[in-house]
Amino acid sequence: MTVELGHFALVLALLVAIVQGTVPLHGAARGSEPLMAVGRTAALAQFLLVLLAFLSLMNAYVQSDFSVLNVAQNSHSAKPLLYKIAGTWGNHEGSMLLWVLILALFGAALALFGSGLPQALKARALGVQAWVGVGFYLFILLTSNPFARLDPPPLDGQGLNPLLQDPGLAFHPPFLYLGYVGFSMAYAFAVAALIGGRVDPGWARWVRPWTLAAWIFLTIGIVLGSWWAYYELGWGGWWYWDPVENASLIPWLAGTALLHSAIVVEKRDALKGWTVFLALVTFGCSLLGTFLVRSGVLTSVHAFAQDPARGVFILLLLLLFAGGGFVLFAWRGPRLAGGGLFRPISREGSLLFNNLVLSVAAATVLLGTLYPLLLESMGGGKVSVGPPFFNRIFVPLMLPLIAAMAIGPMLAWKRGDLGQAMKRLMVAAGAALVATAAVSAILGSIEPAGVLGLALAAWLLAGTLAELAQRIRLFAVPLAESLRRLKGVPLGAWGMTLAHAGFALMIAGMTGSQVWRQEATLLMQPGEAVAFAGFEVGFDGVAAVPGPNYIAERGRFTIRDGKRVIAQLEPEKRRYPVEGRETTEAAIRTTAWGDLYLAVGDARDDGGRVVRLYFNPLMLWLWFGAAVMVAGGGLSVLDRRLRLGAPKRVRTGAVPAAARS
């Protein structure tokens, strides 16, 4: 299979997308079923064509076809197969091809699984999706062609940045893109609803699973990136407030807000305009993230596109899609008002508070990320906006949100009773106090930030479990009855419980690893041992170990706890001769209590080695909590009421969602 075939398929996909962007929309306006049905066929055809294009490029990578410019620049024959495959998206052109592949995948999924949707809504959503596709196909074909040939072909390629040759990072971009691009579904539904002039609980039920899916993928993508930074960059940190990280955090914050406001639309038919607006904003943030990373406007290790033409093109797409959405919203949005009324102290009120805080947080991170760019472009000089700024602004914003997270689910819809909710949360308050006392007693000192963080984590975890206990009326009715109720708890409710509990665990992990971290930088001789964080770390020596396309210097450390050997750790320093670069591979001993983290540095003339030691308390809780949170999202997607649109369900007359709460 030659790449020309892929190139041709991509051009065809563009043409199909133009058809998909016009005929179904026209059909929806005229109420013509055959015209609307074109959307479905076109979406499937579009996906198959882009898949063909993508596979032809991937094939060139696997075959190491260095007559393709993109492959020659970013691959090497000695690379392991996994990184040849991952190399397909480890560069600007290929990653944009992955972007449109995922876009087409979501379109095809909507065409296949959305058969229960109102036909006009579906036709319009597919049409809007197709226009996003048209924009990005043009971007690829005009500015970032991955299929360009190189004549004469070189004997071998230039290799892939070794930092990217890692399992965590091989799968980081696809998940991130599944998230970014997944929010295009929310956008397409929002624009379709604005065109159609109708937003109702049914609409929210269609939008939620797509938004949830995108949110899950984005969460996985961000966590994979963070995890990678943790074990690969060799400093033991996991979040740097790097502009590229922020570019993924901003849509995550907006998307999380969207998930919660869509609940209000679904259950209470309120906050409709706001939810549609958030859907536009969330995808706008995703496009902005794509722009920031792809344009190279932020000079950072991630931004490998340095061609300004590309930046301008994406900026135009961003203005067109986000701006167009907002104009449409300004024109049609006012019609969406109305819906159920509620008091500030109520379930809706708490969800609105969630939206308030998350939106402010997203806007603030956006401001901090763009400020240096804006200031410089206006001739105001150069400033840096680093972690101190973000921590100072972001952490105080999150505190009330976490405090309210336990209370919100306890409040009734429409009009809640705060006193009653607080009474039920006595357990949670107790848990927070116990956590505070226990931590202070164990450490023998009070560290205000740490105590506050752990108390909030305990409060949220206990509060979330208390909500579940109340739902099954634990201890209020016989245990057997409670168990029966437990079986009846809808998956969506389990999803909330798990997601909130997972977030509580993450807070504990963040707090522990930030507040009580211990670190040491030493010069160690082979045979030497040091006491560190309650361990005895013995340095046995360094050996050269060949890898598939690198040479590793592998340090060997024996970790003792008293006299007993508890672990052998082998951190590496790898040198990739093709790319002429080095990477560190930290060795980590993980326990629930904390990570012992070792990185080995350069050799000194006297045979000694620079060794970096870290002890990151509760680190596992952060990763485990993230996994629990993602699992919660997954359960929520599986909730039956979100699948009511599936054809079988509709025909057999499933229980209306309104009957459940």
Partner 1 sequence: MADRRAFAARLIGALLAVLLLAPLLATTASAVEPDEIAADPAIEARARAISKGLRCLVCQNESIDESNAELARDLRLLVRQRLQAGDSDQAVTAYIVSRYGDFVLLDPPFKAATYALWLGPLAITAFAFGFVFVFYRRRAGRSEAAPLSEDDERRLAKLIDRNDP
Residues that bind partner 1 (CB under 8 A): 234-237, 240-243, 298-301, 341-342, 344, 352, 356, 359-360, 363-364, 367-368, 371, 375, 380-389, 391, 393, 397, 447, 450, 514-523, 530, 532-533, 606, 610, 612, 614
Separation of alpha carbons 17 and 13, rounded Å: 6
Shortest reach from residue 386's CB to partner 1, in Å:
3
- Least separation in angstroms between CB 660 and partner 1: 26
Give whichever of 147 and 277 is closer to partner 1, judged by the CB atom: 277
Tell me phi and psi for residue 110, to 5 degrees.
Answer: -65, -40
3-state secondary structure 154-213: CCCCCCCCHHHCCHHHHCHHHHHHHHHHHHHHHHHHHHHHHHHCCCCHHHHHHHHHHHHH
What's the closest the beta carbon of residue 74 comes to partner 1, in angstroms?
21
Closest CB to partner 1 among residues 76, 612: 612
Q: Would you state the structure tokens that stand for residue 205, as one six-digit string?
A: 């039920």
The H or E element containing residue 425 is none
In the complex, the smallest distance separating the C-beta of residue 312 from partner 1, rounded to whole angstroms, is 22
What distances in angstroms separate CA 233 from CA 58, 121, 464, 546, one per listed residue? 28, 47, 35, 21
Instruction: CB nearer to partner 1: give 102 or 599.
Output: 599
Pairing of strands 529-532, 572-576: unpaired
| Minimum CB distance to partner 1, residue 648 (Å) | 40
Residue 155 vs 337, nearer CB to partner 1: 337
Q: Shortest Cβ distance from residue 387 to partner 1 (Å)?
A: 6
* Least Cβ distance, residue 439 to partner 1 (angstroms): 12
Closer CB to partner 1, 320 or 398, in the complex: 398
Shortest distance, position 342 Cβ to partner 1, whole Å: 8
> In 490-534, at which residue ranges do the beta strands (DSSP E only) sit?
518-524, 529-532
CA distance 421 to 408: 9
- Specify the residue, 53 or 620, whose C-beta has the smaller distance to partner 1: 620
Q: Which is nearer to partner 1, 55 or 360 (CB)?
A: 360
Cα torsion angle, 560, 561, 567, 570, sign:
negative
Rounded to the nearest whole angstrom, what is the least distance from the CB of residue 521 to partner 1 in the complex? 5
- Residue 198 CB, shortest distance to partner 1, in Å, is 21
Of residues 586, 606, 605, 604, the one with CA closest to residue 596:
586
Hunting for tokens 């000694």 — which residue is that?
608
Q: From the CB of 283, what's the least distance to partner 1, in Å?
A: 21
In terms of CB distance, is 265 or 425 closer to partner 1?
265
Residue whose CB is less far from partner 1, 295 or 514:
514
End-to-end Cα spacing for the chain: 53
Backbone φ, ψ for residue 638 (5° rounding): -75, -10
Does the bond joining 152 to the residue before it have cis omega, within 30 degrees of 0?
A: yes
CA dist 630 and 501 (Å) reads 11
Smallest distance from partner 1 to CB 523, Å: 4
Distance of CA 429 to the CA centre of its chain: 31
Which secondary-structure segment (H or E) carries 572?
strand 572-576
Dihedral sign for Cα atoms in the order 443, 446, 450, 452: positive
In the complex, minimum distance from the CB of residue 336 to partner 1, in angstroms, rounded to a whole number: 14
62/541 Cα distance (integer angstroms): 38
- The DSSP result for 42-90, as a single string, is HHHHHHHHHHHHHHHHHHHHHTT-TTBHHHHHH--TTS-HHHHHHHTTS
Closest residue by Cα to residue 127 from 211, 30, 286, 17 = 17
In the complex, minimum distance from the CB of residue 578 to partner 1, in angstroms, rounded to a whole number: 21
For residues 135 and 512, which CB has a smaller minimum distance to partner 1 in the complex? 512
How far is the C-alpha of 77 from the C-alpha of 158, rounded, in Å? 9
Q: How far apart are CA 354 and CA 401, in angstroms?
A: 6
Candidates 275, 269, 419; CA nearest to 342 is: 269
- Nearer to partner 1 among residue 78 and residue 403 (C-beta): 403
Which of residues 382 and 564 has its CB atom nearest to partner 1 in the complex? 382
- 39 or 349: CB nearest partner 1: 349
The one-letter amino acid code at 620 reads L
For tokens 């020309």, name the residue: 4
Name beta bridge partners: 519: 614
270 or 322: CB nearest partner 1: 270
